[in-house]
Each structure stands twice: as structure tokens, then as C-alpha cells.
Structure 1
């Protein structure tokens, strides 16, 4: 066991503070999330189990998939191969990918993409009529399928949501929108048996309730709002990651956070979701310049601007330090105005709204949090360490991404492993291996962090486990996170009794999300402190080189009392 220096392991609550459920519903399987992974899982389960419940935090079209610009990677070209895709993925992953999981991804990927087309997704086509393919960083072949130029995720989400809408009246599926899942319910034996959730709306699904099922599939996306600046939507508060942790699941590779190198720089102090300038722009030939006009990537890596994202992001951070600047420039003017407007219509239009004409001027960019390679550790069928609990998409740690996700592999991972998880659940429900159990009271206490603390937590995470880390910075972050009050619900109780506590907040959505953000930031910081090397999305200034002894996974889990175990 690796302990984080002299800090000692933190203790985290294993439940969110919330009112008792006011209603109950049942299903055979519950899917939480409506991105590519959640929608695929729900569609596959609908015809294979008697009843599936699809729960989403916002509207069906509000998942992170909508924001994916570049495309989906698969060996669709006759001159390409799954073996070549595997080699590129392993190279980007920095030596800690699970080769077996990568082989599943690249081998089954082409068939899953063709199924997307059969479900109505319309990809851009080449002159010959086939799917047009382009190249992105880390790929040595044209294997990125895209839609609407730079609106691939939006098109995939549109097609899958249309499939869900077509079967809304089917009694075998129920869709609950505007529902925040609070905790994964567990039996006395520790198996998952449902979720508690808060639904904003009217009628029997209003307020806090519980849904019971034989299997729970987490497809809740990433942790972007743990950081001050991210390309993730506001809903990406690490809810699934934190809920799985509280339920006893093992998490892994948390320290591998991908900071996208080319996020639009909108000035100091900017926070929240920031516009992404897709990797595909560099794939088509755009170059990076520092604020002196010097192109710096060719001297950093043989693939220059098409190097893996961690290489480009770290090179930019070092260039910023060397030039005293807060941004670099992405120059695509030489590609021509007509080409840029046709190939990247969404990006060019969004930039024009912000007063930037990419056809006439370089675009200011800087790294920001983009993707989390770690999450809930799963096997090749999406199973977590908790019986009946599955994880797919960005919330999962399948081992596909290793230390650094290869561009456009994320949509493919969600597609492939959601398909596998759904078929595994259907088989195990049918043979009786998975049965709906009764929830039991879980030890470990409850927590509620005031929503007012969120910006402070985000600043701590950005400065500690940010793009460039050190032992001192991580220790300082861990200490500051440990000082955050997590008992706001007790303050409300004391205040009601006329005994002011100084911290008062009611259990509600913003507080629940902030509690998740705090728990994710805490375990991520301790995982980053444990890994004393640099690899992929984890860069330690005090250990700048990779160490062969660290070609292994760091995992974290809470014991029955909520004490964090880092291995």
C-alpha cells in the first residue's frame, strides 16, 4: 500500500445527506446518463430485459457527447487495420493501457460504428460515397469519421435520442429527465441494488425517490467541473465517480487527467465551460505559434502539432512559462477561408460570435481540463468491483486509455463497452445471476458540502492536480481539501434548534454536486501524490521522467468507515 507521504489517508462519507425517499419504482436495469454510452446501453437493454429505466440529469440531448467535435476513431479504411489502431492507442497510453481492453475496442469498433449508421447517424462522406476519414493527433492513419464537419457528437446524440424517442411509449422502458442520481444503493452483502435520485418536476417522480433494479449502469460522463476551467458542460460534476466510490467500488487511473491543448483563451479569470478548438483543426494542418510568432512543436516531437495531447499540452505550458504569456496561437489561415468554413462550420461560427475570424487571424488558445482517463475500474464487460454495478463511457476505467486517451477513442469506447455491458446484464438477468436485492443502511456517515465552497475547491484542484504537479503543491491541495466543511446539513439542523453552527445549507442539487466535486478532487489529489513519476496526463515537475517501476495502475477505494485506501 502506498500512503501519501505524511498526510495520512483522508476519511470521506459513504452517503450523501438527503431526505428519505418519498417514492419507489423498480426495473431490471437502471442506466444513468444520456451520452453515447448511456443511450447505447439503454437501447441494447430495451429488447433484452423486461424493463429498463433511463435516468438523465438534464434533457436527453444534454450529455457530453453533444460537445464532441472531432469524430469517432475506427479502422474503417481498407488500408487501415485494428492492429494499427491498437498500436497507436498503446503508444498514446504511455505503457499502462490494458492491451486486452484495447484489442476489444479496435476489433469490435468498426462494427459498432456501422451499427450507428444503421441507427440513423449520418457521417460526412468522401467523393466515392464512403465515410470520409481524417487524421488526428497520435494516429498514423486516416481513421476519424466525422459528421457535420465538426459536429460529430451532436449528430450521434441526435440519432440515438431519436431511437429512444421512437420507443418512449414502450412499457419496457421509462425515461426520467432532470434527475440527479445521489447514491448507488447497496445490499447488506455490498451488491448494487438501485439508486436514490432527485427529480425536478411534478407528480409521482417529483423530489427524492429510489429506483430498485438488479443492475445499475453508470454512464455519467466526466469530472470537468472539478476544475476552474474545462471544456465539459456544467453537469459534469463527477456524480457517477463519487457515487461509485461511496458504494465501495474501486477507482483507478484517477491521476491521468487530459488537458486539451487548444481550448479558446478568453482572458484571465475565465471559468466554466470553455469552447474547444478541435484536434481535427491541427489534423488538417493548423500550426501552433508562441506570442513571438515562433512555431515550437517541431522541436518537441516528431509528429509536431499531431503529437499526443499530453505532449502538446505540456509543451504549451512550458512555452507559456518561457515567454511569460498566458496563451499561444493556433494559426489555420494558410488552409484557406473556404476550406475552414466548410470543414469546421461550428467552430468558425462560434469564433465569429466571439469576434475572432479564424480565416483572417490566429486564435488564442491554452490548455484546459478536457477528459478523464480514469474512473470506475471495470472488466471487459463493464463490471465494477461491486456486484451488479457497471460503468461505461468516461466514468469508467476500462484500461483502454491508460495514461492518455488517444484522440477520438472516447466515443468509440462508450459505444463498444456499453454494447458489451448491456449484453452481459441481459444474460445475467436471464439466468438469474443478477437479482434485485433489498437496500441496506450503509456505514460511513453522510456529507453535504455547501455550494458556496465549489469555486474554492475548483481553485485548489486547478493549482494542485493541474497540468503540472509537484509534491508540495499536491500536499497543499490535500490539506486545503481536508479543511473544507462537509457537515453543512448538521448546521441546518442545529440552526433549526436555535444553535447556530456557522455553516448552513439544505440538502439540494447544488450542494450534492459540490459534495461530489469535493470527493473527486480529494481522491484525485491523493492518487496524483502517490504516483512519483510523469506519465501521460500526469506530469510531476519534481519527477519529470517516467519510471518503469510505475508502469502499473494506482487504485483507490473507501473502507467501511470511509477511510481512503490508495494502492
Structure 2
């Protein structure tokens, strides 16, 4: 068996096995919505590493992009997405996204999601960076939580869906490039389980925990991308990591997002001297694409030798801010910042991974029976830089498409036997390491050298360090979630660095000081990584 194919030893005939038509890994919007879009006659299991309420989706503040206004259209939404993606968007995927947006938003409303409204029949719309029209629907400044809460409440009523909490997916089990199910670790019983299924859908989110400053929760360690790569799935666009420009900079909290919608409502960025600076960097000023705003802040911080800049929305009164941004207002106030009177200290932090498991517009990967959607997937929608508020929409649109596609697959193979016999002997050995220290060292290395601005020397320093850790834990015996997460963090850090070194140009979220120009002639293409 290939070295490193599986993280643990197992024998499917000797560990407990559960049979399901479909297994979904991940409980964010993409995973839960996919479960709801699968016909109720099929048996579905959702595996989630923590509780079902913990995901990247829950933390999403701004909203969901959809062209509903009279002066807007899917064509304009398409155009804005393509512009933000800096030449690497897959046009077919983007057309699917913008054309199927409204129907899926209608489904959310039918599920009871309570979006802010202008009137009984009209949703409120705001604007975010690089959007040419007001097209962001929202629920205050906790849109992700509102959508997740409603979807989870609905999925709990579905008798065909079993929710498996504190169950960590370790590896895809495959045979002849066909997915047979998922090897998982039950954290409560400290035991392994084989979830046998006709179809596995990966919806595990991104890998923000590769970085020391991230808006992602602790669970975002890239488990889905890691298990997919070990199984032979193609990964794409890993070098494109988006940094959100405005994350609270406070000694007690450097991961709280200050939504782009705040800038959409007119907030301006000021340096530590109080000077507005975005007009000199881009014609769209504070509403330029995210990669440009983040780099502008980075340059301004460097120029003024400071650790942060300020976001100023003090021209809006307290009543308005409490109503429009209740969570942001309340959270900032808890840190002694009254955003109606005070500037908000902010700095960029890792936020979203454009790259991930390569899929087509139906969520299919190059492994038969294995699908992916949401942030973990890469279908080319975001290109080199995601347009604001397209992420939740992506999870919905492609979760819906997978739900319909999966029904066809399962229907055609329901009568076939699910029994499978696979054994893995990895010859891994116990090692005395400090997993937390290694994780911290990698996060600091990635932040320093593989962040908003990159160059060859720094990338090579990062590669040397990560390669050493990779060699150290390559044949390590893994005995719990901390070990599985470390393996995925080291693997993905290595792959991100390799692709960042390979792409010798600047494009979207990938900016190199030693190759500052965009090179369409040689690099208007995707970098694809595959183990074998």
C-alpha cells in the first residue's frame, strides 16, 4: 500500500460499520443544505468533528449575493465575479452560480430564514466590495448564523438524516478509484467507525488554521482537503488564500470579523495618523476587491510602522448602528470601543481559501462517488480572488445540484451489495512530539512568509521548515484528533507553499514582490496537485 495513503491502521471487517446511502462530512451551510436537498427516501448521515452548530458558515456576517433589484441582473453579477476573480474564474461555474441564485434564496425563505426586509415582499439589499449593484441580502450582521440555525432546525426534523456529532473524518476509503465510504474517529468512545456509503459528500470548509491570525474557527484544519489528496483527488488553486481586510485588532481578540458590509454602508479606512488612504490605491476606494484592500492596508501599516489601521463609521448614529450591525456594535463595545464614537482598530487576517478539491459544476471529483461543495471545493467560481458574499451562495447552489445528482447515483446502485473488505497496515511508529508547538510554529511561518505579500526567499524558508516537520511526522502513529489535524495542517501548508512558489506572477490574492505583474501569457491557468 502507498506510504501515507491512510493515517491509521484498520481492517473494515474488524471495526464497527454503519451503512448509509449518502455520508456528508461537515455541518456548515453547504453540508446541511445538501442533506436537505437529497430526497427523503434516502438514508443520509452528517458527520461533524464538533457539534453541528460549529462551522465557518455560522461566523459569516455580511450576507448572500443575489441579483434581485430591478437595475441588477445575473449578467452583472457574473461580470463582477469574473472581475474579482482576476482572470481565473470558470465561466460555466459562474453562470450556474448567478442564474440559480434566486431559486435557492427562495428555498431558504421557505425554510424560514428571516432576512432583513424593506417591506413584506421585498428583501433589503446592501453593497460590498467589487459589487457594482446593491445585491447582498442579510440578516443583521449575523447572516450565517441565521441561515445555519434555520437549516439545522429543519434537518433535525428529517427522519432520514442522522447527525453524528464529535465524529472526525480521517480518510476516504477507496478501491480502484471508487469511494467506498469514510473511516472516522468517534471522539466520545475513542474508537474507529467505517461509514460505508454509495456516495460521500465533502463539505468541511477551509483551512484557516494554517495561519496564526484567522477568522475561521479552531475546527478549520483542512481535514477534507487532506483526506481527499491522500485518496488521489485532484486539488486546485491552493496558492490563492484570501485575507479579509478588516478583522478586529485587539489584545484579547484578533479573529472577530468586521463585516465588509460596514464599508458597504460607507465606512472609511484611516491609517494610525487618521488619514484616509484607500483613494490613492484604487478607484473603488474602500469597496475595491478584497485582495487590493488587504494589500493596501498591509502597505499602509508598513509605511506607518504600525500593527493596524482604523475603520471609521462614526458618521452614523448609535441607533442606526445598533440596528444594522447589532453583533458588531455589541462585541466592539465589550472591548471598550463604541463604534458610533470611536474608530475600530482593524488588520487583515486569513479568511477564505479559493482553492480546494477540484470539482465540476455537479460537485463531482475525479474519484467516483466522491463529491465536494462549499469552501472545501474548487469549481473555479472564485478564480484568484472571491467576490464578497459569493461563498454562502456557492454552498447553496452547488449543494442543491449535488442533492439532485446524488439521488440519481444512489437510485442506480441501491440494490448492489455495500459490503467491502479493505485492510491498511501503515507501519507507523509512536513519536514523542509537541503537536501544539509544531502547529503554532507552522502558523507563524505561514503568516510571515505565505501571507498577503510573498517572495521566493521567504517561501523557500517556509518550505524548508514545513518539509522538516513533514519528514518528522510522515510515519508517525496517529492516535487522536490532534494528530489527524496536525497531519492535515503540515500536508496542506506544504502544498500551499509549493503552489505559491510555482506561480511566478501576481494575480488576485497571490501577490509576489519578485513577480509583481500578472502574466496572462504563461500563468492564466490553474495549478493542479494530485498525489498519484
Q: Shorter-chain-normalised TM-score: which range?
A: over 0.9
Matching residue of 2:40: 47
How many angstroms apart in 1 are the aligned matches of 2:422 and 2:459?
36
Which residue of 485, 488, 503 corresponds with 1:531?
503
User: TM-score, normalized by length of structure 1?
Assistant: 0.89
RMSD of the alignment, in Å?
2.1
1:215·1:434 contact (CA, 8 Å) conserved in 2? no
Which residue of 199, 222, 247 corresponds with 1:215?
199
Give the superposition deviation at 1:325. Answer: 0.9
Gaps of 5+ in 2: none
Matching residue of 1:57: 49
CA spacing shift, 1:282–1:41, aligned 2, 3 Å: same
Does residue 67 in structure 1 map to residue 59 in structure 2? yes
Does residue 508 in structure 1 map to residue 500 in structure 2? no
Give the superposition deviation at 1:485. Answer: 5.5
Does residue 411 in structure 1 map to residue 392 in structure 2? yes
Moved more, 482-491 or 239-248: 482-491
Moved more, 507-516 or 407-416: 507-516
- CA deviation vs aligned residue, 1:317-345 (integer Å, no higher than 9, x gap): 11111111111000110122221111000
CA spacing shift, 1:104–1:83, aligned 2, 3 Å: same
Which residue of 309, 320, 341 corresponds with 2:301?
320
User: TM-score, normalized by length of structure 2?
Assistant: 0.94
Matching residue of 2:128: 136
1:489·1:507 contact (CA, 8 Å) conserved in 2? no
2:4·2:475 contact (CA, 8 Å) conserved in 1? no
How many angstroms apart in 1 are the aligned matches of 2:306 and 2:504?
29
CA spacing shift, 1:209–1:352, aligned 2, 3 Å: same
1:88·1:140 contact (CA, 8 Å) conserved in 2? yes
1:26·1:211 contact (CA, 8 Å) conserved in 2? yes
1:351·1:357 contact (CA, 8 Å) conserved in 2? yes
* Superposed counterparts of 1:29-428, under 5 Å: 29-47=22-40, 49=42, 51-127=43-119, 129-147=121-139, 149-167=140-158, 170=159, 172-187=160-175, 189-201=176-188, 207-267=191-251, 274-428=255-409
2:155·2:161 contact (CA, 8 Å) conserved in 1? no
Give the superposition deviation at 1:76. Answer: 1.5
CA spacing shift, 1:378–1:338, aligned 2, 3 Å: same
Which residue of 504, 508, 513 corresponds with 1:541?
513
Moved more, 19-28 or 474-483: 19-28
CA spacing shift, 1:479–1:509, aligned 2, 3 Å: same
1:186·1:439 contact (CA, 8 Å) conserved in 2? no
Give the superposition deviation at 1:127. Answer: 4.0
How many angstroms apart in 2 are the aligned matches of 1:507 and 1:137?
44
Give the superposition deviation at 1:444. Answer: 8.4
How many angstroms apart in 2 are the aligned matches of 1:296 and 1:441?
60
Give the superposition deviation at 1:173. Answer: 2.5
How many angstroms apart in 1 are the aligned matches of 2:312 and 2:277?
13
Give the superposition deviation at 1:79. Answer: 2.2
CA spacing shift, 1:163–1:486, aligned 2, 3 Å: farther
SS of equivalent to 1:483: helix
SS of equivalent to 2:460: helix
How many angstroms apart in 1 are the aligned matches of 2:150 and 2:266?
30
2:11·2:421 contact (CA, 8 Å) conserved in 1? no
CA spacing shift, 1:487–1:441, aligned 2, 3 Å: farther
CA spacing shift, 1:443–1:415, aligned 2, 3 Å: farther
CA spacing shift, 1:469–1:487, aligned 2, 3 Å: closer
- CA deviation vs aligned residue, 1:12-48 (integer Å, no higher than 9, x gap): 8222135666311111110011111000111122525
How many angstroms apart in 2 are the aligned matches of 1:18 and 1:358?
54
Give the superposition deviation at 1:464. Answer: 2.3
- CA deviation vs aligned residue, 1:201-247 (integer Å, no higher than 9, x gap): 35xxx621110111110000010111111000011000001010001
How many angstroms apart in 2 are the aligned matches of 1:132 and 1:491?
53
SS of equivalent to 2:209: helix
CA spacing shift, 1:12–1:280, aligned 2, 3 Å: farther
- CA deviation vs aligned residue, 1:287-311 (integer Å, no higher than 9, x gap): 0001111111011111100000000
Number of aligned residue pairs: give it.
524
CA spacing shift, 1:71–1:18, aligned 2, 3 Å: farther
SS of equivalent to 2:200: strand
Does residue 438 in structure 1 map to residue 420 in structure 2? yes
